[in-house]
Amino acid sequence: MYARVVTAQAQPGKMDEIISICRDSVVPAAKEQKGFKGIFLLTNTDTNKGISIALWETEADMKAGEASGYLNEQIAKLAHAFAGPPTTERYEVSVQA
């Protein structure tokens, strides 16, 4: 399994909006992607920082969403609420419990 981790700084007062957009738009779109296994959105309202961890069955499935424009489309839904550009990292899931 593979994970894409996106970290972003939210503008003050925008965290609830980000959570709503993720729940109502980003998650349903993710569920339509081949190999999608799940997603976590971690938020800290004290620091306005958010971390999204999306899980994918294979590395190819994860990268296909990037190549197709899917990832950029999802980030664009939230960009107006970010304080700056998000960072994206990719990992292999080595242990899962």
Position 74 scores a pLDDT of 95
pLDDT for res 4: 97
Tens-binned pLDDT, residue by residue, of the chain (97 aa): 999 999 999 999 999 999 999 999 999 999 999 999 999 999 999 999 999 999 999 999 999 989 999 999 999 999 999 999 999 999 999 999 9
Read off the pTM: 0.92
Cα of first residue to Cα of last residue in the chain, in angstroms, is 13
The domains found in the chain, sorted by start residue, are 2-92 (3.30.70.100)
Residue 64: its pLDDT value, please?
A: 94
